[in-house]
Amino acid sequence: DMRAVGKWTWLTLLRSDEIRDEYDVIVVGGGHAGTEAAAAAARLGAETLLITQKIMTIGALSCNPSLGGVGKGQLVREVDALDGLCGRAGDSAGVHFSILNRSKGPAVWGPRAQLDRERYRQFIQSELLSTPRLTVLEGSVDELLVSQPNPEEPGHHRVTGIRLVDGSHPILSSSVVLTTGTFLSGSLFMGQTTSPGGRMGDAQSCAGLSYTLKETLGLRVGRLRTGTPPRIVKESVDLSLAQLQAPDKQPTPFSFLNTHTRCKPEEQLPCYLTHTTPGVERVVRESVHLNCHIQQDTKGPRYCPSIESRVLRFPGRRHQVWLEPEGLTSDLLYPQGLSMTMPPDLQLRLLREIPALHRAEIRAPGYGVQYDFVCPTQLTPSLQVKSTQGLFLAGQINGTTGYEEAAAQGLWAGVNAGRTALSLPPIALSRTQSYIGVLIDDLVGRGVTEPYRMFTSRAEFRTYLRPDNADLRLTPRGFEEVGCVTLRRYKKAVSVRDGLQEALMALQSVALSSTRWREKLGNISLSENKSTTLNGLDLLQYKDVSFEMLASAFPECLSQYFEYSQRLKIEAVYRPHCEKQSREMERIRSEESLSLPSDMDYLSLPVSLSHEVREILDRVRPNTVSLIYASKVILIKYIIMTTDGNRKFR
C-alpha cells in the first residue's frame, strides 16, 4: 500500500541523529499493547517515543482478522471508554459486525467485528501520527539502561532509558514500557524445523533485552506457546459447501463516540462455518511424528490452541471451523480453529479433508511460536515491575493472549508510565469496576500457567461490568483522576450520564397500581397483586415491557428519552442485582486500596500464622490485602489435594 508508506517516509528520516536524547516515556513495540501505551502516555501529557522494528507493521493484525467477542468485546469497550484506539479502529476497519450472545442477556453480549487488515493498520498509523507529543522511531532495542533505585521508593533498580542496536548513544527516559509480544527469545515452529523469531517474516527477537530482564533485573520468566493457521486463497474455496453466517443487519459500533461504522450495513461481508471430518483427525495422527510443536505440547494449556491438540484431546468429534474474510479487497480467508504446526504439505492435505476446502490453496502456512513471558506476579497493579522503578510491561510479555487483552494492558501501562514520568502517583483499576481491573488483578495476583484470555466468567461482578455502561464506569474517572481521556469524550459521557439519570428519575416518577398498568399497557403478566404500586422502572424489569411501551403510555414525561431506550431497559433489569452486590463490591474495593509492602518479611512476621500460610504469602507477595483471597484459594486447593492423599500440588 503506497499511501501508507508515503505517510511514514518523514518519520523514517528521523532515524538516529534527529531524535532527542531524552523522552518522558519510551514504548518498545508497535503492536496492540505498544500503540495503546504510546497513545495513552502522550494523551496524559508525556513526551513519548514509540520504537518499533518496522514502522509498516504498526497496527498490523498478526493473527486473526477480528476484534471483540464475549469478554473481549467488553475489554474493547473499556479501552474505548478510556479514550484508547482499538474501539475506533475497529469501527473504521470492521467489515462484518455482530453482537454475540444476543439471546443470553445484555451483560454477556459480545460486540465483535471481522476486520479489514489494511483499514485497521491505516487507522492506527494515522491516529498515532496525529497524536501530539508522540514520536515514532524504527529500530531495535539492544538493552535497557538500568541504574541505582530512587531510595524514596520501593525497588532495587531504576530504568533510565534504552540503547538501540545500531545507536552509539543512549536514549534516556523516566519510564519504559516493554510490549515485545512473542519476540522475547521467540522461536518459530513448523513441522520439524525451528527458527528464531517472534513472527514469520519479521526480524529476530532481541537477545539483549532478554538478557537484561533475566540476568540484570533477575526476573523470573516462563515459556508459552501459541500458533496461527494457514491463510487460504479465497478463490480456491467452495463456499457453497459451507454455511453462510450473515452479520447483524445494523452494525453496532464499538466506540461510544461513534453512532455508525465506516462500513455501510449492506457492504458487510459474510463469514462461513464448516466442520472438521474424520480425515482431518487421521492427518493429524499420521503427522504427529513430524510435528515438533505438538510433541512438546504434553504440558500444554487446558484449552486446545491448535487443531492438533483438539483432535488428540477430543477425538471422534466434529470441530467447528470459521472461514473469515481478511478484508474488503483481500483475496484470502482466515480459517479460525485451524491453527496448526505440521509441515506445509501436510497442512494442505489436512485442509483438503474438509469438503469446502477440497481444492484449497495455501498462501502462507500456519506455524507455532514459543516465547518467553515474564511471570506477571512480579508486577504491581500499575503494571510496573516491582523491583525496577519506571519499567512497565504489557501484552503477551505478561503471559496473555489476544489483541484486546494486550490493548487493555498497554493502555494502563502507558497511563502509569506517563504518570511516573510526570511525577504523579501510580493508579490502579479495581476488579469491581472493570474487566481491565479483573485482567490486571488476575495477572499480578495469581500469575499465569497458560496464555491468559478474558472470559466473562472471570468477573465476579459481571452484571455490573457490562458493555453498555463502560463509558459511565470509566470515562469520568479517566478524565478527572487519570488524565487519559480528552475533554470531548468526557463531555459526551457526562451528558449521557445526566440524561440517563434524568430518564431513570422520570421513570420512577410514574407510579400506578398493577391493575392500572394492565389497563394502560394491555395484556402483560405482572406477578404482583392488584393493589401493589409499581413505578415505571419496576415495570421495565419485566420481560415483555419495553421503554417504548412506557413512553407511549406517558409521552409527556418519557418521550424525550427515546435515545436511551435500550440502555434504560438494560439498567432496569440489572439494577436490583447490582444493588445486592454493592456491599461486596465496596468491601473488595476497600481491601484493594490497602497495599502491602513488597518487601514484607512474612516468614518472621510476629503474628500467629502457620508456616504453610507464611510460605504461600512469601511466594505470592500480595500487592494488596485483597489478594490474600488469592492465597486462600491456593490454600483450599492444597487442602483438597492433600486430603485426597495427593501431594502433587506442592
Partner 1 sequence: MLPCSWGLWRSAIHTLKTFRASPSARGLCIPTRAVCDAETIFALSSGHGRCGVAVVRVSGPASSMVLRNMAGLTQALPPPRTALLRRITDPQSKELLDRGLVLWFKGPHSFTGEDSAEFHIHGGPAVITAVLQALGSLEGVRPAEAGEFTRRAFHAGKLGLTEVEGLGDLIHAETEAQRRQALRQMDGELGRLYQDWSYRLKRCLAHVEAFIDFSEDELIEDGVLNQVDSSVRQLETEIERHLKDERRGERLRTGVQVVIAGATNAGKSSLLNTLCQRPAAIVSPIAGTTRDIVETSLDIGGFPVLLSDTAGLRDSSDSVEREGVRRARQRVEQADLTLVVVDSTQLPPDPQLVPAFLQEHLSTVLPSPEAGMKAASDRVLLVLNKSDLVPEEQRERTEGELRERPGLPPACFLSCSTSTGLEDFLTVLQSRVKTLCGDPLSGAPSLTQARHRAHLQQSVQALNQYHQYRDQDLALAAEGVRLALTHLGRITGRVGAEEILDIIFRDFCIGK
Binding of partner 1 at residue 476 (CB under 8 A)?
yes
Q: Should residue 639 be labelled a site residue for partner 1 when binding is judged by CB under 8 A?
A: yes
Q: Is 381 in the site for partner 1 (CB under 8 A)?
A: yes
Instruction: From 472, 482, 405, 437, select the one nearest 592 (Cα to Cα).
Output: 437
Is 263 in a helix, a strand, or coil? Answer: coil
Stretch that binds partner 1, among 37-45, 209-217, 283-291, 597-605 (CB under 8 A): 597-605
Phi, psi at residue 149, to the nearest 5°? Answer: -75, 160
Residue 492 makes contact with partner 1 by CB under 8 A: no
Can residue 246 be called a binding residue for partner 1 (CB under 8 A)?
no
Return the residue of 424, 609, 618, 641 that touches partner 1, per CB under 8 A: 609
Q: How far apart are CA 102 and CA 76, in angstroms?
A: 17
- Is 636 near partner 1 (CB under 8 A)? yes
Find how far residue 165's CA is from the centre of its chain.
30
User: Is residue 114 within the footprint of partner 1 (CB under 8 A)?
Assistant: no
Find the shortest distance in angstroms from Cβ 595 to partner 1. Answer: 5
State the nearest-atom distance from the C-beta of 624 to partner 1, in Å: 8
Among the listed residues 150, 192, 457, 533, the single contact to partner 1 using CB under 8 A: 457
- Return the C-alpha cell found at 114: 471481522
- Cα 231 vs. chain centroid, distance in angstroms? 24
Q: Hey, which residues between 528 and 587 contact partner 1 (CB under 8 A)? A: 543, 571, 573-575, 577-579, 582-583, 585-587
Helix (H) or strand (E) holding 138: strand 134-138
Establish if 631 lies at the interface with partner 1 (CB under 8 A): yes
Is 303 a binding residue for partner 1 by CB under 8 A? The answer is yes
CB count in 10 Å sphere of residue 329: 9
Tell me the one-letter amino acid at 128: L
100 binds partner 1 (CB under 8 A): yes
The rounded distance, in Å, linking the Cα atoms of 535 and 541 is 11
Task: Kindly state whether residue 406 participates in binding partner 1, applying the rule CB under 8 A.
Answer: no
Binding pattern for the stretch 260-299 against partner 1, x by CB under 8 A and - elsewhere: ----------------------------------------
156 in contact with partner 1 (CB under 8 A)? no
Interaction between residue 249 and partner 1 (CB under 8 A): no
491 binds partner 1 (CB under 8 A): no
CA 95 to chain centre: 20
**In this structure, what DSSP letter does residue 554 have?**
S
CA 644, CA 637: separation in Å to the nearest integer?
11
CB of 500 to partner 1, least distance (A): 6
Region binding partner 1 by CB under 8 A among candidate stretches 18-26, 247-255, 285-293, 602-610: 602-610
In angstroms, rounded to a whole number, what is the distance separating the alpha carbons of residues 404 and 396?
11
Which among 135, 50, 140 is positioned nearest to 417, based on CA atoms?
50
- Least distance from partner 1 to the Cβ atom of residue 621, Å: 13
524 touches partner 1 (CB under 8 A): no
- For the bound state, the minimum distance from the C-beta of residue 471 to partner 1, rounded and expressed in Å, comes to 9
∠ CA 535-536-540, nearest 5°, is 125
Q: Shortest distance, CB of residue 611 to partner 1, whole angstroms?
A: 4
Phi-psi region of 201 (alpha: psi -120 to 50; beta: other; left: phi over 0): left
Q: What is the DSSP letter of 21?
A: S
Q: Which of 504, 507, 521, 534 binds partner 1 (CB under 8 A)?
A: 504
The residue to which cell 409521552 is assigned: 555
Residue in this structure with the C-alpha cell 534516556, named with its chain if needed:
172
Contact pattern for partner 1 over residues 309 through 348, marking x by CB under 8 A: -x--xx--xxxx-x-------------xx-x---------
> Which amino acid type is present at position 42?
A
Q: How far is the CB of 224 from partner 1 (least distance, A)?
A: 12
Contact indicator for 56, 4 with CB cutoff of 8 Å: yes
What secondary structure letter does DSSP report for 528? S
The span from the CA of 98 to the CA of 109, in Å, is: 10
Give residue 115's identity as a one-letter amino acid code: L
Q: Which of 456, 489, 517, 537 binds partner 1 (CB under 8 A)?
A: 456
Pick 23 or 403: Cβ nearer partner 1 = 403
d(Cα 450, Cα 332) in Å, to the nearest integer?
Answer: 30
Per-position x/- string for 45-84, each x denoting binding to partner 1 as judged by CB under 8 A, each - no binding = ------------------------xxx-------------
CB of 145 to partner 1, least distance (A): 25
Q: Is 192 in the site for partner 1 (CB under 8 A)?
A: no
Task: Please report whether residue 495 would count as binding partner 1 according to CB under 8 A.
Answer: no
> Per rule CB under 8 A, is residue 11 in the interface with partner 1?
no
